[in-house]
Amino acid sequence: MIKIGIVGGTGYTGVELLRILATHPEAQLTAITSRKEDGVPVAQMYPSLRGRVDLAFSAPDKANLNECDVVFFATPHGVAMAQAPELLAHGVKVIDLAADFRLQDVSAFEKWYGMPHSCTELLAEAVYGLPELNRERIKTARLIGNPGCYPTTMQLGYAPLLKAGVIDAASLIADCKSGVSGAGRKAEIGILFSESSDSFKAYGIAGHRHTPETVEQLQRLTKDKIGLVFAPHLVPMIRGMHSTLYAQLNQEISNEALQALFENAYADERFIDVMPFGSHPDTRSTRASNMLRIALHRPENAKTVVILVVQDNLVKGASGQAVQCMNLMFGLAEDCGLHHVPVTP
């Protein structure tokens, strides 16, 4: 059994980790930290976990995280970088769901996250945790920077086209929508029910912190310079993400050949469903699962290809992907503990 610690178990990604790991056949939940909720049973805060998780939250200094095999950080940015060096020195593997180890460019991190990076010496060995594009490195990693939710959809949506060199890498447009849970579990006016319900808005158009992360990773797929316009939107639903991606074809290619690029690229991927050409996947078809669905369109057979990508922002976009990485790091089947069927309705 893998002894698991979770730092920051009270937020949405933390409780999603608990939900997934509670039924994982190889997981032994050992410690769940929260300074504010020290001593409070997990099931008291989250009754959905009654009978599944018997632990109580504990303050970090009581948690004995150094005795774990792996520690997940479901915390705000800046926490993992402060604690990772000690954990790694004790042989504990680290998976950070925040952004501390996603970006290799320190100046970009400090610009977009507004804080100095306190352990830059670890960035060189940190592995970006998107299994479908980085599987072999994840298998041997001891430190994972789990991808952001939006970047997951953009990278998996654009990857087959960029690798094949059939689109103009400099003119990518991503029109993306996320449920309110993407903002985290906090009291903030913009995500209150009375503020976000019955409304729809864009945000971060002038610049969003997921842009440099996405560009850095997409750039690894092509020699051409990446140009990305990313427009995120908040939609009045709890969870779910829908990304509509646009790209300009730079050569003659049939719709059948475009479809084949995606089907061949993801033929063996347990968590990517390439739907028939012209399909319209909806967020509900991935709700509470680690599945990501993709569908291609080409309006009027012109030069614009449209890629529709849907996922659950808390699962494939966060905690499920982190468990997927854990499975690879410990030599387990990649889908171990992740066989959740999407919830409908």
Query: Which value, to the nearest 10 degrees, does the dihedral of the CA atoms of residues 334, 337, 339, 343 take?
Result: -130
> Three-class SS of residue 135?
helix
Active-site entry in 68, 119, 149, 336: 149
Give the residues across from 293 on adjacent strands. 273, 310
| Cα–Cα dist 51/21, whole Å | 13
Longest dimension (CA), the chain: 63
Q: Which of 339, 323, 340, 332 is CA-nearest to residue 70?
A: 323
Q: Are the CB atoms for 329 and 277 separated by under 8 Å?
A: no
Residues 6+ apart with CB under 8 A from 223: none
Other beta carbons within 10 Å of 344: 9
Tokens 């009581």 found at: 62
Indicate if 149 belongs to the active site. yes
Q: Are the CB atoms for 155 and 173 separated by under 8 Å?
A: no
Q: Which residues are catalytic?
A: 149
